[in-house]
Amino acid sequence: MLSSGGIMDADEEQSSSSGGPISSLNSLFSFTSPAVKKLLGWKQGDEEEKWAEKAVDSLVKKLKKKKGAIEELERALSSPGQASECVTIPRSLDGRLQVSHRKGLPHVIYCRVWRWPDLQSHHELKPMDNCRFPFSAKQKDVCINPYHYKRVESPVLPPVLVPRHSEFAPGHSLLPFQQIPEPAMPHNVSYSSGGFTNNSQGHSHLSGGPNSPMSSVPSPGSQHSGPQSPYGSNGLPGCLFPVETPPPAYSPPEDRDSQQGQNSGLSDPAAMDTSSIISSEVAPVSYQEPVYWADIAYYELNCRVGEVFHCQTNVIVIDGFTNPCNNSDRFCLGQLSNVNRNSTIENTRRHIGKGVQLFYIGGEVYAQNKSDSAIFVQSRNCNHHHGFHPSTVCKIPPGCSLKIFNNQEFAQLLSQSVNHGFEAVYELTKMCTIRMSFVKGWGAEYHRQDVTSTPCWVEIHLNGPLQWLDKVLVQMGSPINAISSKVCGVKYEPCRQLWDLQITRPIVLTIPSVCIEAVQLA
């Protein structure tokens, strides 16, 4: 039976689901109030009519306790172009509401009912400047006025300008390139109530706060600029990137032309006309969204298991259950078999549970831990943003969410790396791969030094950034800095001869103190 607010606790839900004469009687005499009917008149879309009706009915019961609240909501819905006041309800302990066995964030629920039926996550929403009680403020009241929120916009990333030829002598790049050496073991950071903590490095700047980038309910509109990092994954100084302007959202290929046409008139710097600065001396390389924004491979120790999962929808669930259907939005690890699986892997797989939910929204990738055990993420883009070493592993506790990739920050790094030469751009390929382990961590604080020592993990390849890098590298040609094949002062020219011999199977050739394995030739 629904409570006065339309929210059901565990006991109420159990008694309601058990049925009985009382529930049958309530069903017989149930009716929709005039206020609910009027508000449903502004509902968008035609799916889940019953759920929307229950959500609105629950809201009306709450708003009746505040004088003029229902009238203000009706005014906002009937006149979207005019300014309106906040319409608030009390914030629950975990920030969520349960309507008809479904839990969700209140502002997301009512934005979905009255504005965007396709809304998937709070990451897609940002509060308007005139909203005094946005969900992200974490006040005791939450504004659910759908016109006090806006969806993340989609500015167009500026093209990367690649010089067609180098003006420097061979062996020199435009700027010095310095590759950061990898540590013996990755550093570890984890989240607590105070934000990021790092026992292996002890940097004081890793502490978060109320606006920490990881929280049990992340702020949909919050942006966090990390400390200036001494570790650029490509050897660059750790720059602070402006992230207030949302990066581009994912859209299917057929929608991109219309979106770009709509955005062409914006005064955003990212959408500015670059024709005046593009000359015959540079080749502009633009970002294009692929059909599959990511590919996910599942591993047990150092062995890949099953086929690669292609991500087409912008919300993907990786869980430990056994659904054999080829769902486009769900990668079930429980149904994958491996004859080499040991007891440790079996036990770990049983604890994956609901796993992790990946969101690709507004050019940003978020990972939300839905399981009852921690997950561990190694993302160079995320580490650069927060000032960590590139190989740092972040622990995400259950219920927490972390932004693990940002297209706009990657675009700025790529534009800067072009001036450092081929090697610096190629180094960014490491930023396009994200590794994520379930239940078991690795790094300096664990006896597992590498991700291939963890029982169950996935590798996520971001196809859009990888394809963009590929186009830039093709324009750049080849590395300027010469590389020689010298071991102990001996240059082994016979390697070139091996390729000329049209060898059809792998061989091992021995040169004085040098052993070379030749790959199979076509």
Q: Token digits for 339?
A: 């004859």
Does residue 174 lie within any of the structural domains?
Answer: no
Q: Of 113, 108, 103, 107, which is closest to residue 13 (Cα–Cα)?
A: 103
Residue 41 sits in the same domain as residue 80: yes
Judging by DSSP bridges, how do beta strands 188-192 and 393-396 pair with one another? parallel
Tell me the residue length of the chain.
Answer: 522
Distance CA 160, CA 190 (A): 35
Residue 462 sits in the same domain as residue 349: yes
Over the stretch 318-355, which tens digit does the pLDDT of each residue have?
999 999 887 899 999 999 999 999 999 999 999 999 99
Residue 371 sits in the same domain as residue 346: yes
For residue 43, the model assigns a pLDDT of 87
CATH code of residue 325 = 2.60.200.10
For residue 99, the model assigns a pLDDT of 84
CA 229 remoteness from chain centre:
21
Residue 464 sits in the same domain as residue 496: no
For residue 489, the model assigns a pLDDT of 44
Among 151, 166, 190, the domain boundary falls at 151
Residue 335 sits in the same domain as residue 387: yes
Does residue 400 lie within any of the structural domains?
Answer: yes
Residues of the chain predicted below pLDDT 70? 1-31, 46-47, 154-155, 164-184, 191-280, 480-522
Are 388 and 189 in contact by the 8 Å Cβ rule? The answer is: yes
Among 120, 151, 182, the domain boundary falls at 151
Residue 435 sits in the same domain as residue 501: no
CATH code of residue 115 = 3.90.520.10
Does residue 234 lie within any of the structural domains?
Answer: no
Residue 498 sits in the same domain as residue 373: no
CA angle in degrees (0–180, nearest 5) for 132-133-134: 105
Residue 474 burial (10 A CB sphere; 0-12, 13-18, 19+): exposed
Residue 500 sits in the same domain as residue 456: no
For residue 184, the model assigns a pLDDT of 66
Residue 315 sits in the same domain as residue 464: yes
Q: How many domains does the chain have?
A: 3
Q: Of 200, 179, 182, which is closest to residue 441 (Cα–Cα)?
A: 200
Residue bearing tokens 């059809």: 504
SS3 per-residue string spanning 143-176: ECCHHHEEECCCCCCCCEEEECCCCCCCCCCCCC
Q: Can you list the positions of beta strands (E) in 314-464?
A: 315-319, 330-332, 356-361, 364-369, 375-378, 393-396, 401-406, 433-438, 457-462
For residue 179, the model assigns a pLDDT of 55
Judging by DSSP bridges, how do beta strands 401-406 and 364-369 pair with one another? antiparallel
- Percentage of residues in the chain with pLDDT exceeding 90? 45
Does residue 401 lie within any of the structural domains?
Answer: yes
Does residue 257 lie within any of the structural domains?
Answer: no
C-alpha distances in Å from residue 210, one per residue of 194, 374, 403? 8, 21, 16
Distance CA 346, CA 273 (A): 55
Residue 195, H or E segment: strand 195-197
Residue 411 sits in the same domain as residue 464: yes
For residue 86, the model assigns a pLDDT of 94
Over the stretch 397-453, which tens digit does the pLDDT of each residue have?
998 899 999 999 999 999 999 988 899 999 999 999 999 999 999 999 999 999 999
Distance CA 219, CA 390 (A): 25
For residue 108, the model assigns a pLDDT of 92
Does residue 223 lie within any of the structural domains?
Answer: no
- Residue 15: give the domain boundaries: 10-151
Does residue 124 lie within any of the structural domains?
Answer: yes
Are 450 and 442 in contact by the 8 Å Cβ rule? The answer is: yes
Handedness of CA 359, 469, 284, 412 (dihedral sign): positive
Are 239 and 412 in contact by the 8 Å Cβ rule? The answer is: yes
Q: Is 101 left (phi over 0), alpha (psi -120 to 50) or beta?
A: left
SS3 per-residue string spanning 25-75: HHHHCCCCCHHHHHHHCCCCCCCCHHHHHHHHHHHHHHHCCCCCHHHHHHH
Residue 446 sits in the same domain as residue 306: yes
Among 151, 185, 202, the domain boundary falls at 151
Residue 364 sits in the same domain as residue 501: no
Average pLDDT, the chain: 74
Other CB atoms within a 10 A radius of the CB of residue 513 amount to 9
Does residue 43 lie within any of the structural domains?
Answer: yes
For residue 102, the model assigns a pLDDT of 82
Q: Which letter does DSSP use for residue 124 in this model?
A: G
